[in-house]
Amino acid sequence: MCCRTGGSRRREIASERTCGNALNLFYEGLFTRLPTLSTKRLLLRRITMADAQDIFAYSRDPEVSRHVLWDTHRTIHDSRAYIRYILRQYRQSDPSSWGIELTATGRLIGTIGFMWWNRENNSAEIGYSLSRAYWNQGLMTEALREVIRFGFEEMRLNRIEAQYETSNPASGRVMEKAGMRKEGVLRGRLYNKGAYVDVALHAILRGDTP
Ligand SMILES: CC(C)(COP(=O)(O)OP(=O)(O)OC[C@H]1O[C@@H](n2cnc3c(N)ncnc32)[C@H](O)[C@@H]1OP(=O)(O)O)[C@@H](O)C(=O)NCCC(=O)NCCS
């Protein structure tokens, strides 16, 4: 590790400061340099404008957007606007999403990523969506486990959260299978698609990982 020190306390403090700055720079650029992650069946990789058609193919499905905060895409322009937003997040190194590519076909079938990252408390929240054609094959659990690993190992997080509408139990099951624990239900937490909805909060702590 770069923080190994020797000699006087003053040198030690200077070294810690340098390491602290280096670490800050590392963290600040993390989402600009978002690395590709791989799992057994998936590549989690940066989204590009070339993915617009694949994203539109599933984001036009109201069943996919029913329990998320974005609206069903009406035309491919909506998908392109979403991609422009993601590219801006990458440029600014703001917490952002990977595209989920099915390795067997090379198609983009969903997204997963960080909604926010609180650097003071080393906490962050994950969100995700998957094309309906691929539901119930364990794919999102596979992706979520890998993003949780990235959060603890690369972002040095202490706590990772995820939330789902209680009327979307499949998402809660994904969180459980990835090792997250339910911490409670926040009643009427969100106004989504014309109604107030209850939201369940799940989290995993660094110490919870096996
Ligand atoms: C929720 C979602 C991510 C799940 O992805 P997925 O790849 O199908 O998830 P997995 O296959 O890894 O696991 C799904 C689990 O939910 C279970 N499940 C499916 N429908 C269910 C239901 N109606 N009630 C309870 N459990 C359900 C499955 O049986 C499976 O659990 P199991 O492995 O114990 O049998 C996917 O359906 C999706 O993207 N939906 C639309 C967007 C969305 O809701 N995003 C989440 C917002 S919080």
CB contact burial 161-187 (16+ within 10 A = b; e otherwise): bbbbbbebeebbebbeebbbeeeeeee
pLDDT reported for residue 5: 37
Mutate to test the pocket of ligand 1, among 132, 174, 182, 193 (most ligand atoms within 8 A of CB): 174
112-165 pLDDT, tens digit per residue, is 999 999 999 999 999 999 999 999 999 999 999 999 999 999 999 999 999 999
Which tokens is 193 given?
């698609």
77-123 pLDDT, tens digit per residue, is 999 999 999 999 999 999 999 999 999 999 999 999 999 999 999 99
Residue nearest to atom 20 of ligand 1 (CA): 170
- Pocket-forming residues, ligand 1, beta carbon under 6 Å: 64, 67-68, 128-130, 135-141, 164, 168-171, 173-174
Instruction: Domains for the chain: give ranges and CATH numbers.
Output: 35-208 (3.40.630.30)
Instruction: Give this prediction's pTM.
Output: 0.91
**AA letter at 39:** T
pLDDT reported for residue 115: 97
Question: What spacing in Å lies between the alpha carbon of 15 and ligand 1's midpoint?
Answer: 47
- pLDDT-derived band at 4 (thresholds 50, 70, 90) equals very low
Residue nearest to atom 31 of ligand 1 (CA): 173
How far are the Cα atoms of 2, 106, 193, 198 from residue 89, in angstroms, in the given order?
Answer: 28, 24, 25, 29
pLDDT value at 7 more than 90: no
